[in-house]
């Protein structure tokens, strides 16, 4: 049984939250087949199909309040971010015993690469059925939205600021018509040409406190973002630490020369790139610096980010990244 109405019967122990618009509508087309496969694995379950942005958060919150033990997200990183924000309150998880599953089917789906979750729904369902879980950290950030109001939200994969926020803005305006990789690479190339370097005061724990001129700063829980950019090769979402990648001033020819390193894991070999680890990150700027939060563009600096260790348990393979 599917529903997009919160005033429904009590949620069973397993709940699927489905974004039919993810991957340019591919999830909506694929959902009947995925649902049929899931029914073979699990029998009956409740499913919520979203109709608008933000509903995945509402449905996840509802599922927890009505006793769900496993919440499975069907969509991309944006949908997963919404579900996770529904499972969390400002203080922490609404129910620490709830497990989250992920059937990745979206434009970017970068987090699944770090966790080694297969993109094929049949294989992803087998992993969920296996019942093995591992703890994952989350990032909690306080930032300024586009109305100038301070907001709090969580991210599972990566928050960046600088070029990343402008890329997100362009990708989301384009409607992601060309798919994940091409949409992000074209938006990145256009943004590079138009981007003006930002001066940001950046602080990481108590060991880094500098004014830096940057192309982009990535505060990473996962290793990839932007449709496959390998921006934080050492990141591990279960180690209780952010991996912070600072990409400094690069000329346009230097950017294009080093661009392959952003995809082959060699980004840290570029001399203008620095890598740090830490549990708290703060950034302010006199310029307008846009945020990228799990592929969405919710606001801008100033921002305060802190790690929430082992915030949730995710159903996934035991292999560590």
pLDDT digit string (tens) for the chain, length 321 residues: 444 433 333 334 899 999 999 988 999 999 999 999 999 989 889 999 999 999 999 999 999 999 999 999 999 999 999 999 999 999 999 999 999 999 998 777 899 999 999 999 999 999 999 999 999 999 999 999 999 999 999 999 999 998 877 777 777 666 555 555 577 777 777 777 777 788 999 999 999 999 999 999 999 999 999 888 899 999 999 999 999 999 998 888 998 899 899 999 999 999 999 999 999 999 999 999 999 999 888 999 999 999 999 999 999 986 554
Strand partners, 255: none
Residue that terminates a domain, selected from 131, 156, 189: 131
Helix (H) or strand (E) holding 9: none
In whole angstroms, give the CA distance from residue 230 to residue 288: 26
Task: Give me the domain span that covers residue 225.
Answer: 139-310
| Residue whose structure tokens are 């930002």 | 198
Is residue 317 a part of any domain in this protein? no
Same domain assignment for residues 180 and 31: no
Is residue 61 a part of any domain in this protein? yes
Same domain assignment for residues 208 and 71: no
Same domain assignment for residues 158 and 126: no
Task: Identify the pLDDT of residue 187.
Answer: 75
In b/e form, how buried is each residue of 105-126, taking b as 16+ CB within 10 angstroms?
Answer: bbbbbbbbbbbebbeebeebbe
* Phi, psi dihedral angles at 127 (to 5 degrees): -65, -40
Same domain assignment for residues 72 and 171: no
C-alpha distances out from residue 289 to 31, 42, 59, 97, 171, Å = 37, 45, 32, 37, 17
Task: Identify the pLDDT of residue 181.
Answer: 59
Residue that terminates a domain, selected from 131, 157, 187: 131
Same domain assignment for residues 93 and 148: no
In 3D space, the residue among 227, 262, 298, 230 whose CA is nearest the CA of residue 77 turns out to be 227
Is residue 111 a part of any domain in this protein? yes
Task: Identify the pLDDT of residue 9.
Answer: 35
Helix (H) or strand (E) holding 63: helix 55-65
Same domain assignment for residues 241 and 124: no
Is residue 256 a part of any domain in this protein? yes
Residue that terminates a domain, selected from 109, 131, 153: 131
- CB atoms inside a 10 Å sphere around CB 270: 17
Domain of residue 168, CATH code: 2.60.200.40
Is residue 235 a part of any domain in this protein? yes
Strand partners, 211: 201
Same domain assignment for residues 146 and 125: no
Same domain assignment for residues 234 and 296: yes
- CB atoms inside a 10 Å sphere around CB 280: 13
In whole angstroms, give the CA distance from residue 51 to residue 97: 28
């Amino acid at each position: 049984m599917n529903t997009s109405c919160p005033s429904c019967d009590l949620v069973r122990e397993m709940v699927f939250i489905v974004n039919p618009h993810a991957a340019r509508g591919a999830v909506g087309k694929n959902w009947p087949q995925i649902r049929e496969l899931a029914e073979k694995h699990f029998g009956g379950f409740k499913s919520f199909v979203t109709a608008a942005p933000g509903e995945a958060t509402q449905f996840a919150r509802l599922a927890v309040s009505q006793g769900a033990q496993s919440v499975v997200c069907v969509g991309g990183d944006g949908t997963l971010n919404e579900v996770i924000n529904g499972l969390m309150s400002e203080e922490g998880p609404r129910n620490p015993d709830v497990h989250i599953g992920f059937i990745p089917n979206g434009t970017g789906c970068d987090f699944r690469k770090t966790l080694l979750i297969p993109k094929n729904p049949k294989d992803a369902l087998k992993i969920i059925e296996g019942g093995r879980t591992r703890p994952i950290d989350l990032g909690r950030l306080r930032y300024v939205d586009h109305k100038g109001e301070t907001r709090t939200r969580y991210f599972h994969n990566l928050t960046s600021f600088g070029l990343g926020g402008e890329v997100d803005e362009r990708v989301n305006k384009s409607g992601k018509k060309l798919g994940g990789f091409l949409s992000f690479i074209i938006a990145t190339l256009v943004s590079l040409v138009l981007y003006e370097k930002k001066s940001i005061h950046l602080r990481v724990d108590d060991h880094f406190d500098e004014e830096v001129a940057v192309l982009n700063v990535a505060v990473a829980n996962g290793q990839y973002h932007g449709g496959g950019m390998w921006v934080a090769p050492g990141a591990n979402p279960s180690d209780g630490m952010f991996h912070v990648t600072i990409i400094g001033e690069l000329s346009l020819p230097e950017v294009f020369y080093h661009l392959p390193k952003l995809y082959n894991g060699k980004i840290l070999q570029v001399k203008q790139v620095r890598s740090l680890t830490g549990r708290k990150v703060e950034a302010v700027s006199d310029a307008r610096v846009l945020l990228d939060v799990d592929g969405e563009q919710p606001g801008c600096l100033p921002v305060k980010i802190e790690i929430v260790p082992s915030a949730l348990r995710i159903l996934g393979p035991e292999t560590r990244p």
